[in-house]
Amino acid sequence: MEELKKNILSIFNDLEIYIRKDNRMFINTKKETVLSLLSYFKNSGYDHLGLISCNDWIDDSKFELVYILSAYMANDEEFQEKEKRIIIIKTRIPREKAKFITVIDIFENAEPYERELHEMFGIKFEGHPRLTPLFLELKYETPPFRKDFDTEKYVENKFGKIPTIKERKNNQKNERT
């Protein structure tokens, strides 16, 4: 792990790298370096994109994109140290008019993940061939997985408020009298 860290730092600058005991490497980077970092890892054997996720840090008004990489086995018989490692690359982009570049050219299975993030967070991925809705049927003003989308308020506006038991009893009393 330490060796890998040295190698990366010799090629890329402006990286913050943390290594955890459980073989996880967290890399914080600027958004410009993400693509070259991803292709560097792919070429050095970390060829399995596990997940693309997103955190909504609403207080900083930033989205944080998270790319999780691990390695497929190089040979069939033995397990190497490499497969135990997980590389987590994180980058922050502005929350207003959020947009980023697609990574489909590097990892083919990024397509549905990016589609989902576009739908749920409203991040536009430039160069993505189909950013059509994946799961949702209705259109929402605020994309539903953002932190400022209040589910309780939405349900109240959409379906009306359900009275509590106390309120219901009072209503019944009022109706009788």
Partner 1 sequence: MRELELYFGPQHLGMVGNFSIKLKVEGDRIIKADANPGFLHRGFEKLMERRTWMQNFPLVCRINVVEPDHMELVYSMGVEKLAGIEVPERGKYIRSICCELARVGSHLFGLWAYSNMLGFDTVAQWAMYHRDLILDLFEELTGARVYHIYIRPGGVRRDFPDGFKEKVIETLHKIGGKVPDYNATFFENSLFKKRAEGIGKLSREEAKSMGAVGHVLKATGMKYDIRKIEPYAVYDQVDFNIPTREGGDAYSRLLTIRDEMIESVHMIFKLIDKMPDKGKVYTKTPNPFKWNIPEGEVYVRCESSRGELGLYMVSDGGDKPYRAHFNTPSYNHGLTVLEKVLVGESVSDVGNIMISLYVVAPEIDR
Q: Check binding of 135 to partner 1 (CB under 8 A).
A: yes
The strand ranges marked E within 13-172 are 16-19, 24-29, 48-57, 62-70, 86-94, 99-101, 124-126
Nearest approach in angstroms of CB 55 to partner 1 is 5
- Beta carbons of 117 and 92 less than 8 angstroms apart: no
Nearest approach in angstroms of CB 127 to partner 1 is 17
Strand partners, 126: 101
- Beta carbons of 69 and 46 less than 8 angstroms apart: yes
Q: Within 19-58, which residues bind partner 1 (CB under 8 A)?
A: 22-24, 26, 47-51, 53, 55-56
Percent of residues in the chain assigned helix, strand, coil, to nearest 5: 30, 25, 45
Of the pair 49, 98, the CB lying nearest partner 1 is at: 49
Of the pair 139, 176, the CB lying nearest partner 1 is at: 139
Interface ranges with partner 1 (CB under 8 A): 22-24, 26, 47-51, 53, 55-56, 66, 68, 72-73, 76-77, 79, 83-84, 86, 88, 107-109, 111-112, 133-137, 144-145, 149, 151
